[in-house]
Amino acid sequence: MRLGKIGTLLVASIAFGALSSSASALTLKVSDSHNNNHSTVVALNEFSSAIEERTGGDVEVQVFGAGVLGTESEMINQLRMGILDMVRTAPTDLEKFNPVYSAFLLPYLFKDAAGVEKAMNAVKDDVFHSHPDSGFMGLAWNTAGARSFYTVDKEINSPADLEGLKIRVPNSRSMTQAVEMLGATATPVPWGEVYTALQQGIVDGAEGSPTSLIDGKFVEVIRHFSFDRHFTIPDVLIISTKTWDKLNDEQKAIFKEEAENYTKRVAVLEEEKVAKAIEQSKEQGVTFKDVDLDPFKARVMPLYDELRANNEEAAEIVSRIEAAQE
């Protein structure tokens, strides 16, 4: 997606503001592609308020939600250029800049929500501080829920049911490869165009968490949701290394503490949101079904061998994630 006129003007004004901000206060900009009611944006606004209060106004954080500054890849590039200071994004985009993040894109890597928390606490510090040459470091992570298949017409009970179906995926090599190994024809479509693609039959379905049915209004065209839980991919809040170096030790400590609070807050909000999304979707005619995961898992296990053969750094993180959940 290219930046529209409004987005371009916003980026320009932010860049100007970065140059002209008062020397007495450090004003940081954080961007999120999620809508302003999404759990991550709500938590970022709370993070912003806490930072300003705890630093006595010495650090202010401005939150730009709803993707007004472009796609996540575009926002990461803006961060690397010094226009933005922080970005809430996903490993699907981060792996393009830091290969370690490919570890999180393996299907069935995490057993459940408890496993995600244990594993992320075990590896996050090393992952966050890997490849400083990328121009950013991780500050916090947040749950993004388990991703499953949802379709317009055909119910998915096994990988065989995916044969011949066009399934929307994000523009990610890793996710495209996994979905195709599960049997579908992976079709990258920008998030803002998914509703139309489903409605017009450009794709037969998509994959994501139950909340996406409500966030994207897909509930109006989707009829089947199958809990195959092929991906559980945590989001990451990154911060420019140049911005991080501007903070004094006390401010860095505050940022780290509030980053932990951000992670916990998103988890609470998402749990509530998923339950509500399922209830609302059922009311509008969507059927939800649990499926046997073993046939799905068997299809994608070769991806683990491929990662271990081609990405030693990510493979080491995967081994630690697996060990943390034993």
In this model, does residue 13 exceed pLDDT 80? no
The model's pTM is: 0.91
Torsion of Cα atoms, 113 then 117 then 120 then 121, to 10° = -170
Under the phi-then-psi rule, with left for phi > 0, alpha for psi from -120 to 50, and beta for the rest, what region is 129? alpha
Place 117 in a pLDDT band, splitting at 50, 70 and 90.
very high
* Domains of the chain listed by start with CATH number: 5-144+234-274 (3.40.190.170), 146-232+277-324 (3.40.190.170)
Q: How confident is the model at residue 191 (pLDDT cuts 50, 70, 90)?
A: confident
> What H or E segment, with its residue span, contains residue 240?
strand 235-240
Assess whether pLDDT exceeds 50 at residue 20: no
Tell me: pLDDT of 143 over 70: yes
Query: Beta strands 166-169 and 136-142: pairing type?
Result: unpaired
